[in-house]
Amino acid sequence: MEKINFNKITSALKAMQEIEEEQKKPDTIEESTNWKGTDHISLTRFAAKQGFGLQLTQNKRMGDEKFRVGAHISMPMKDVPKLLKALQKVMKADPKAQLGDDD
């Protein structure tokens, strides 16, 4: 009579369970959507591990700036409301102000 190797059976069962669990996970979404921004900035919403992200891309230089076109930043969508608040503060700030709220 052949001896049963329970360690091999247990390892095989664990491997099968791991494969089954991996197959139950939803597929990763790898896509993006482009949105109109301004003449200078384009917006792209993209799928990320923790939801969606937002990428801002520079399309056009302002005047004779030396920045390269195509420069971009990426951020989680959850930070967009904070960014909007900060942008509103900048827009409402006194034009003669010498310091911002981060100085």
**pLDDT tens-digit readout, 36-79:** 888 888 999 998 888 889 999 888 887 777 767 778 889 999 99
On the question of pLDDT at 22 being above 80, the answer is no
What are the structural domains, with CATH classification, of the chain? 32-92 (2.30.31)
Q: What is the mean pLDDT of residues 10-23?
A: 70
Per-residue model confidence as pLDDT tens digits over 81-95: 999 998 898 888 888
Question: Looking at residue 28, what is its pLDDT?
Answer: 56
Q: Which residues contact 72 (CB under 8 A, 6 or more apart)?
A: 55, 56, 57, 58
Contact residues for 68 (Cβ-Cβ < 8 A; gap 6+): 58
pTM, rounded to two decimals: 0.60
